Structure 1
């Protein structure tokens, strides 16, 4: 488990941010579209706006350190985007937090995290 699992992810002091939800059986090409979306959002939103990508379901396998999507993940992280994996989905996929690409944190349940962020006023996008 990551050091942040179970702990609330810090929220930007300037207010709510953008939450991108990637769910289901993702293909590497699908995950590759997320960096384009995050890069476009980063360029258009105010500087320092918080952006999170939450991955839920079988697609968490693409977050593993040996994934063909590692380069895309690294690119997203360089844009100051937080990538979070659902711990429930990791367990279902037979993975642990230690199997993830460096810099990816976990949330106990993606659905609860999504609800909390929406209650905090975050914008929700599903690519």
Structure 2
């Protein structure tokens, strides 16, 4: 069976909280699943302000960081643009879920 590959898109603080819970629940239910949380917009500031056990799965949109004048002082993984990452992963067969 092909492992699940899931993109959780979090553009708001509330969506980030849901995405973090969804990621943890998915990993508990399907340990072989690949999961990424793609944060952009308001979720980026929240991600920087609130560490979480799922942060190894988190990818911050660099465009959102720049637009909001934020520094990634936590050293979280960044992607060039959330929209590019979301589109590229979907082309690769990842399932998109907006949290």
TM-score, length of structure 2 as denominator length? 0.83
Query: In the alignment, is the contact (CA less than 8 A) between 1:56 and 1:89 conserved in 2?
Result: yes
Find out whether 1:117 has 2:95 as its counterpart.
no
Output the aligned Cα RMSD: 2.0
Shift of 1:38: 1.1
* Match of residue 54 from structure 2: 76
SS at 2:7 equivalent: strand
Could you tell me how far apart the structure 2 residues matched to 1:63 and 1:44 are?
24
Q: Structure 2 unaligned runs (5+)?
A: none
Q: Aligned-pair distance for 1:119?
A: 0.1
Match of 1:50 in 2: 34
More strand by share: 2
Q: Find the aligned partners of 1:37 and 1:16 in 2 and give their Cα distance.
A: 13
Q: Which runs of 5+ in 1 are unaligned?
A: 1-13
* Runs of 4+ off more than 4 Å: none
**For this pair of structures, how many residues does the alignment match?**
98
| Bigger share in helix | 2
Report the Cα distance in structure 1 between the residues aligned to 2:88 and 2:4, rounded to whole angstroms.
11
Question: C-alpha displacement at 1:35, in angstroms?
Answer: 2.5
**Larger Rg: 1 or 2?**
1
